[in-house]
Amino acid sequence: METLATAEDMRAFGVRLAARLRAGDLLILSGPLGAGKTTLAQGIAEGLKVRGPITSPTFVIARVHPSLCGGPPLVHADAYRLGGDLEVDALDLDASLEESVTIVEWGEGLVEGLAEDRLEVHIDRESGADARTVELRGVGARWADTPSDPA
């Protein structure tokens, strides 16, 4: 578990995490509203060097950000407004999963079936505090040796 004091620290954590990511990786971000899920996604996008801007995809549900350096594209999705498995299936995230890094905000309990290997990222914050705690949980062989700090 890592404690991050500022939004800048969260972005920097995302940049460090991006260095470990590759095409086919699925990240499921969970945590309360305002925890920093999109801020973390911005840091990951910076580290992957994809075209931005990276904003919350709540109303468009999913965005594809192509690489600017020949790396994998970033698929950034938000399951907050989705009503269940049928709506997740309609997004067709599995169609691009193998060649992209896929981040799904609010995907806990909805998108785990997309991949046997995934990185679950839980972000929490105390009421009224700026600091966030980030906990990484690797699932599957790809993430068997995942430390909580990606540095």
Question: Residue 112: exposed, middle, or buried by beta-carbon count in 10 A (0-12, 13-18, 19+)?
Answer: middle
Domain positions in the chain are 2-141
**Paired tokens of 103:** 């981040």
Residues 16-44: pLDDT tens digits? 999 999 999 999 999 998 899 999 999 99
Residue 86 vs residues 6, 41, 83, 91, 103: alpha-carbon distances, Å: 37, 25, 8, 9, 19
Q: Contact 108/120 with Cβ under 8 angstroms? A: yes
Would the pTM of this model clear 0.75, i.e. be above it? yes
Give 67's pLDDT tier (boundaries 50, 70, 90): very high
Q: Which residues pair with 134 in a beta bridge?
A: 2, 123
Residues 87-135: pLDDT tens digits? 555 555 665 678 899 999 988 887 888 888 999 999 998 777 789 999 9
The top-level CATH class assigned to 2-141 is alpha beta
Question: Residue 46: exposed, middle, or buried by beta-carbon count in 10 A (0-12, 13-18, 19+)?
Answer: middle
* Beta carbons within 8 Å of 78's beta carbon, 6+ residues apart: 56, 57, 58, 61, 62, 104, 105, 106
Buried b (16+ CB within 10 A) or exposed e, 63-95: bebebeeebbbbbbbbbeebeeeeebeebebee
